[in-house]
């Protein structure tokens, strides 16, 4: 990050949610805070479920003037009127996806803790790079995207970087000077009051 301004919030949905209640919860969060982008990040691969969720959340996001992207499913972006895609395979498909979606779509890439993958993804057309998990977790193989990675990136690379995964107030406080965005999802949705939970995490940035 080029200056000392506070990182922005990049909001992800839970992997599963009730369509009857979640759009209202999300609307409350978008109403309470400035959110840079929302990512539809569901675990399901059922096209109908994803389409109905995207329709509902697109309405909420666009009403708040916030972009909505979707994990992985490039083929749904244009059909559902979404703003772009978040790729989970690093740099592997960025060229193809950029060709498919055109220059105006948002194309982001999750690159785990790999500096090399992040640089490659940025060079071939990603709009932002996401590294994680930034906090400690027993999930996956235990590899962590440490502060040194974000510090190096913020000093050397101009492409925006997102810190996500297992975020806590302590991790956020530590990484705030060296990241552009915090990717926050389950950290707040598992709480009864998502607005309060996000407020606590944002307060940790200063």
Domain map of the chain by residue range? Answer: 8-203
CB of 90 within 8 A of CB of 112?
yes
Q: What pTM, to 2 d.p., does this model score?
A: 0.96
Measured between alpha carbons, how far is 150 from 54 in angstroms, rounded to an integer? 31
Number of continuous H segments (helices) and E segments (strands) in the chain: 9, 8
How high is the pLDDT of residue 81?
97
Measured between alpha carbons, how far is 167 from 76 in angstroms, rounded to an integer? 29
Bridge partners, 70 (sequence order): 40, 85
Q: Does domain 8-203 have CATH number 3.40.50.620?
A: no
Cα within 13 Å of Cα(68), Cβ side: 27
Taking only the tens of pLDDT, the chain with its 206 residues reads: 334 489 999 999 999 999 999 999 999 999 999 999 999 999 999 999 999 999 999 999 999 999 999 999 999 999 999 999 999 999 999 999 999 999 999 999 999 999 999 999 999 999 999 999 999 998 888 899 999 999 999 999 999 999 999 999 999 999 999 999 999 999 999 999 999 999 999 999 98
Q: Which residue has the tokens 């209202």?
A: 24
CB of 178 within 8 A of CB of 156?
no
Q: What is the CA radius of gyration of the chain?
A: 16
């Amino acid at each position: 990050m080029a200056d000392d301004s506070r990182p922005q919030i990049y909001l992800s949905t839970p992997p599963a949610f009730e369509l009857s209640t979640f759009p209202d919860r999300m609307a409350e969060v978008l109403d309470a805070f400035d959110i840079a982008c929302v990512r539809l990040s569901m675990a399901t691969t059922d096209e109908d479920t994803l389409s109905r969720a995207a329709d509902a959340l697109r309405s909420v996001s666009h009403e708040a003037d916030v972009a909505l992207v979707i994990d992985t499913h490039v083929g749904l972006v244009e059909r559902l009127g979404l703003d772009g895609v978040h790729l989970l395979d690093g740099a592997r498909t960025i060229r193809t996806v950029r060709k498919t979606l055109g220059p105006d779509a948002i194309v982001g890439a999750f690159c785990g803790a790999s500096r090399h993958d992040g640089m490659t993804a940025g060079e071939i057309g990603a709009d932002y790079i996401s590294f994680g998990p930034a906090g400690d977790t027993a999930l996956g193989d235990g590899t962590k995207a440490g502060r040194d990675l974000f510090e190096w990136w913020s000093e050397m690379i101009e492409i925006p970087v997102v810190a996500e995964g297992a975020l806590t107030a302590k991790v956020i406080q530590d990484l705030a000077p060296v990241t552009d965005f915090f990717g926050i999802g389950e950290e707040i949705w598992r709480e009864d009051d998502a607005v309060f939970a996000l407020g606590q995490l944002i307060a940790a940035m200063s």
